[in-house]
Every structure is written in C-alpha cells, then in structure tokens.
Chain A
Amino acid sequence: MRDIGSTMEGLRTFLARHEPERRPVVLECRPLTGGYSRVMNCATIRWRDGTEQELVLRSDPPPDEIVYRTDRNIEWNVLRALTTAATIPMPPAYYYDDGSYLGTPTIVLGRCGGPSLQSATTDASADLDDLAGKVADTLSTIHRTDLALLDGALEAPTDWGDYLSGLIDEWARAEKAHPESVPVLRYLSAWLDAHRPAPMAMVLVHGDFQASNLLVEDGLQTIDWEFAHIGDPREDLGWFSLYSASTGAPNLYGRDPEGFLERYRLRTGASAEEVNQSTVAYFSVISATRVYLSILASAAAMAEGKAQGVMLTYSLNACALGNINWLSTCQALEGAL
C-alpha cells in the first residue's frame, strides 16, 4: 500500500498538471474503508479561489493483492461517459491517472457524503418501503440508459442467447482452469444451461448493484462501476436479491419481492414473464459469476505463490456461502423454470 505522504504529493502534481490555473493545494488525505476491491482515499483540496473540495481516489491495490480483477481504464471510460450523460445520480468522475503520478491506476471522483444504503437501512427510523422503492427506481434508471451515451466504452453483445451461453460456460471454463476441482460449479453450469429463462433486451448492467454501492444523498447515488457491462438486466436484480439476503441488514428486496419487481416492471416496461421472482432467482446465480470467479482466480494465484493478502483468504468464505446458496436456489427453482 502506498503511503499517504506519497499519495498527497502525487495528487498535488497530478492536479497541478490538469488544473494549473486553479493552483490546487492538497490539505489532507485519509483512507476510506467500506469497500473490498479497490484502495480508496479521500483528499481535501483547496483551490486558488479559496474553496475546498473533497475528492475520492479509487486506485488499484498492489498487483499481488488484487482479489477482484477489473480494468480501471474501462471503468474510467464508463464513468466519464455517464458523468457526461448525467442521467444516473452518481458522484462525478473528474480525472484518471494511469499510475504515472499516483503509482497505480487511479480514478478521481467527487465525494458523496451520504451514508451507504446498507447503513441507512439499519437506522431504526428508516422508511424501508420508501428506500426499496428508490432502489427499484434507481435500477430502472440505470437499465433505461441509452447505450449510445456510453460512446463505445463497453463491448455490446449482439445476441442474448450467445451472451447467456457465455456466462454459463464461464462457470465450467473457470472450474476447469482452476488448480483443484470444484464440482458444484460444473453442476451449476449444467443446471443453468438446462433451465434458461425468457430472453430480454440487453442494457447497461451495473454488475455490483447492492446496498453498500448506493449512497443516500439526493435520492440514491450509485458508486463502484468496475463490473459494469452490457448484459441482461436481471443480472442486477439477481445480484441485489442475493446480496440483500446475505448481509444481515434489512432486506429491501426480500421484504416484498413482488412489490419491488412490480415497480421495476412499471418503470422499465419489462413483462412479468421476463422479470419475476423465478427469473430473478435464476440470475442471482448467474450474476455472481464475475465476483465469484475473481475470487477463485485469486485463490489459484495464491496457491501458485503469485498472490497474497488476508482479503483473499477472507473472501474465500464468500465462495463457500455462494456454493450453498446457489445449489439451494437451483433446487428451489426446479419445476418453476
């Protein structure tokens, strides 16, 4: 991990290059906790006119400590396009350093000071119905994004069937490449292939849509877009349902799944055949591919002596949790799909 002093000096030089007229001074920089995948810092900047601004630095960890392997350059292109489009409430993305100044690829964003939705739901006075409605609305806003606004930042699959096949195959492919056998993944891959739901139009998918990536400020601000891609909208619904049931915080999906989905369908025009509790449950398995397989790949790297860090071994527990949840989900859906 880079020391704070080096980060502050690197940031000062970086900002001075991008904003020479504003003469930035870095007053403070402190680590932010709450996320697992990236190194996060919050810096306070004073500009020439005396105003102060908080900026969030979202950086890659050292290469041998990366658990979730995603590309900051792609994430930056997505964030820049979405910031320009201004259709989705989110902290604005301002700058990108490829590592030349800050030592590691880093995205510099505006700071949203609100609490995470996960924290907000544990407040005794929280209106959970209202928050659940806002989540459904936020997700429908993301999924209604005009893909042309992304300006080519993300690869667009052309065929839903091929796309789904790719996701399903990924389980089996990753398992075969792993240094030890994981039979449950091969079961899931075969099961998912045998129980395909109705197709849907492809949309912008956040990829890690869950309560700790939503900040409560002026509605809900969506953060952490590293897994964003163009895919099936039920991936986000499935991941949200899965994650919401796993944290111990009030479950904004599980308290009234049908109400949640009805609101989502109304906002997006999706049909009940496409979006229902069974298809969302199906995608709760599919949607975990990226996170689960990232952990699995990092575990393989550790087994080969190429990775380290307690975050990795700690995260293996999420795989164990996933194994039991997904198998149960498949059993529960037998006959429904």
Chain B
Amino acid sequence: MISLPTTEQILLDCSREMIETVAPAVSDPAVKLCVEMMENVLRNAATRCAHEIAWMTDETEVMLAFAADVASTCSTPDLSAAINAAGEGRRRSLELAEVAREYSLAGEALSCAIEAAFDGSNDVFLRQAVAILESRNTREQEIKGDWAMIGRG
C-alpha cells in the first residue's frame, strides 16, 4: 500500500482545501456552515486516525489492569463477568474493528470496576479511576482540537 503521505496528512490537506478553496466560493449560509463543519470534522478524523490504534491498545491494558485490581479487593458479579468477557474477547489482529471491539470490552470492565469502587466507597480506587478517565478525556480533547460551536448564535 501507499503509506505516504499519511492518512493524517491527506485529511489535513482536504481540510485546508475546504477552508481555502470551497468555503470562499459558497454563498448559501446553510451550505457554508456545512462546509465549515466538514473542515472541522476532517481535522478531527486526521488526529484520530493517526493515533487511535496506539491509544486504544495502550488504554485497554490500563483499564484491564485496574479492573483486575478492583476485582481482587471488592469484586461484583458484573465486574467478574466483564473481566471474563474482555479476556475472551482479546483482539486477534490490529485491524481497527478488532482493536475497537477489544477497547470497548475493556471499557465495560472499567465501568463495572468503577461501580464496584463506588459500592465499596473505596476512595483509593476511585482516585485511580478518575486518573484513567482523565487520560482518556485528554486524548478526546486532542482529537477535538480547537472546536467551537460554529454558526451558533
């Protein structure tokens, strides 16, 4: 396959073309708004495609490790089931769909671990959970970029 320019570079170039070439030629305000949104979405997609496999595989391991820690102290039936499902659902390749499926199963294990930590009022685990969620949110912000509500008002 042709790997260069990267998908990120291609999408960013499309985004630039949208704003420099397409947007100035559009006069209909509704269509102009649509073009501006597309430019933004292309930038979101560029950042996402450059990192998503690495980010999801990293986070999967962190989430599963945390879920296992919580389970060793204050397990619940939901948490055990979620950890088992994540164990049985490990990815067989780095195909995006496989990685995303595994990531989602790990996310469910994290969710169940959070609920178990709340049930047990375990502040140590809850602080760890918040740190994991903050890390996830930071990456979402990186994808979001300098998004603002275009055309609102």
Residues A149-189 near B (CB distance < 8 A): 175, 179-184, 186-187
Q: Do residues A310 and B114 form an inter-chain contact, with CB atoms below 8 A?
A: no
Q: Which residues of A contact B40 (CB under 8 A)?
A: 314, 317
Q: Do residues B152 and A320 form an inter-chain contact, with CB atoms below 8 A?
A: no
Q: Which residues of A contact B28 (CB under 8 A)?
A: 31
Q: Do residues B38 and A310 form an inter-chain contact, with CB atoms below 8 A?
A: yes
Q: Which residues of A contact B44 (CB under 8 A)?
A: 313, 316-317
Query: If A310-B34, A331-B130 touch, does A184 touch B118 (CB 8 Å cutoff)?
Result: no
Measured CA separation A287–B110 after assembly (Å) = 25
* A323 within 8 Å of B (CB atoms): yes
Measured CA separation A303–B133 after assembly (Å) = 23
Q: Do residues A310 and B136 form an inter-chain contact, with CB atoms below 8 A?
A: no
Measured CA separation A333–B31 after assembly (Å) = 42
Q: Which residues of B contact A284 (CB under 8 A)?
A: none
Q: Give A33's nearest chain B residue, CB to CB.
A: B29
Q: Give A326's nearest chain B residue, CB to CB.
A: B137
Measured CA separation A330–B21 after assembly (Å) = 44
Q: Do residues A249 and B141 form an inter-chain contact, with CB atoms below 8 A?
A: no
Query: If A33-B29, A327-B130 touch, does A321 touch B144 (CB 8 Å cutoff)?
Result: yes
* A36 within 8 Å of B (CB atoms): yes
* A212 within 8 Å of B (CB atoms): yes
Q: Which residues of B contact A35 (CB under 8 A)?
A: 152
In the complex, what's the smallest C-beta–C-beta distance from A37 to chain B, in angstroms? 11
Measured CA separation A321–B145 after assembly (Å) = 10
Query: How many A-B Cβ pairs are below 8 Å?
Result: 108
* A47 within 8 Å of B (CB atoms): no
Q: Which residues of B contact A314 (CB under 8 A)?
A: 37, 40-41, 150
* A118 within 8 Å of B (CB atoms): yes
Q: Which residues of A contact B151 (CB under 8 A)?
A: 33-34
Measured CA separation A314–B143 after assembly (Å) = 12
Q: Which residues of B contact A211 (CB under 8 A)?
A: 153
Question: 1/0 per residue A241-280: CB within 8 Å of B?
Answer: 0000011110000000000000000000000000000000
Secondary structure of the A contact surface, majority rule: helix
Q: Which residues of A contact B143 (CB under 8 A)?
A: 320
In the complex, what's the smallest C-beta–C-beta distance from B31 to chain A, in angstroms? 9
Q: How large is the interface on A (under 10, 10 to 19, 20 to 34, 35 or more residues)?
A: 35 or more
Q: Which of B4-12, B69-77, B100-108 contacts A (4 or more CB under 8 A)?
A: B100-108
In the complex, what's the smallest C-beta–C-beta distance from B130 to chain A, in angstroms? 7
Among B104, B115, B130, which residue has its beta carbon within 8 angstroms of that of A180?
B104
Q: Which residues of B contact A118 (CB under 8 A)?
A: 152-153
* B111 within 8 Å of A (CB atoms): yes
Q: Do residues B110 and A183 form an inter-chain contact, with CB atoms below 8 A?
A: yes
Q: Which residues of A contact B63 (CB under 8 A)?
A: 183
Among B29, B105, B133, B148, which residue has its beta carbon within 8 angstroms of that of A31?
B29
Q: Which residues of B contact A1 (CB under 8 A)?
A: 30
* B134 within 8 Å of A (CB atoms): yes
Q: Do residues B137 and A184 form an inter-chain contact, with CB atoms below 8 A?
A: yes
Would you list the 10 A-B pairs with minimal beta carbon distance, nearest first?
A181-B107, A186-B111, A320-B140, A118-B153, A190-B118, A317-B147, A314-B37, A324-B137, A180-B104, A181-B108
Extra contacts besides A317-B40, A320-B143 (11): CB < 8 Å: A119-B153, A180-B103, A182-B107, A183-B114, A184-B137, A211-B153, A249-B153, A311-B37, A317-B44, A324-B134, A324-B140
Can you name 24 A-B residue pairings with CB atoms under 8 Å? Answer: A33-B30, A36-B149, A36-B152, A116-B153, A119-B153, A175-B111, A180-B104, A183-B108, A183-B110, A183-B114, A184-B133, A187-B111, A187-B133, A212-B153, A246-B149, A247-B148, A247-B149, A311-B34, A314-B40, A314-B150, A317-B144, A323-B133, A324-B138, A327-B137
